[in-house]
Amino acid sequence: MDGLVRPLGIGECQVESVRALSSKEDTELVSLAITQPQEGRYFLALYCRHQALVKSLLKCGPVTMPIELVGLQATLWSQVYRELPQFDTRRERFISWLIARIARTLETVPNEQALYLSSGEIPVPLVPFLRNALDELSQPKRLLLVLCDVLEVSAAEAINALSREGYILTSEELSEQLQQARRQVLQALPQDIYSIYFEITP
């Protein structure tokens, strides 16, 4: 996934902007994540705080291979990210809400995780942000990006697959559209998430 998801090998939980949030309660982090979605560090702080519990509980499920566990974690955290705006900070404890989603994931998701198992190169907490960014792409660009950067098919195979869906592209147009799609995904990420995973600092 050149140019899109070759993120830096960095421990996001050790990034200062995330570590600085360690004293905040879950409820406050959730509220900040909901009201300030342009700041990804609040979600990262929740991930860093609860990742060990999530991994431990998911191990109780049917997955047996480490790569499957990574896929299941990515699926779970993507669901948490997507459903977080529904969390009622006045009525629920985040840990209880999270455990309920872990239980649901173990019941329903094990057969639906192939999307995350292709390369193992995407850090788990980055997956929700990339999925959200992909959802903002037009259908042809999203399909093109998945074909070329996730499934890593050849340009000719991508052109054929797109033509079957009614999108006719030359090889030059494919290259141009692919570069545009990559840029749009990266631009759609919260700036702090982009900085953590894609910017090289001296």
Residue 109 lies in a domain: yes
- pLDDT by residue (tens digit) across 167-193? 999 999 999 999 999 999 999 999 999
Q: Which of 97-101, 190-194, 197-201 has the lowest mean pLDDT?
A: 197-201
- Residue pair 137/145 in contact (Cβ under 8 Å)? The answer is yes
Does residue 6 sit within a domain? no
Contact 149, 2 (CB under 8 A): yes
Q: How far apart are CA 31 and CA 85, in angstroms?
A: 9
The answer to whether residue 158 is domain-embedded is yes
Range of the domain at 114: 12-198
Structural domain tally of the chain?
Answer: 1
pLDDT surpasses 60 at 62: yes
Q: Residue 123: what residue type?
A: P
pLDDT digits (tens, 9 = 90+) for 103-157: 988 887 655 544 444 445 688 999 999 999 999 999 899 999 888 887 888 999 9
What string of DSSP letters covers 8-30? ----GGGSHHHHTTTTS-HHHHH
Is 83 domain-assigned? yes
Burial class (CB in 10 A: 0-12, 13-18, 19+), 154: exposed
Does some domain include residue 115? Answer: yes
Q: What distance lies between CA 201 and its chain's CA centroid?
A: 22
Query: Considering the domain boundaries, does residue 114 fall inside one?
Result: yes
* Residue partners of 26: CB distance under 8 A and separation at least 6: 46, 49, 93, 94, 95
pLDDT tens, residue by residue, 19-53: 999 999 999 999 999 999 999 999 999 999 999 99
More confident residue, 5 or 62: 62
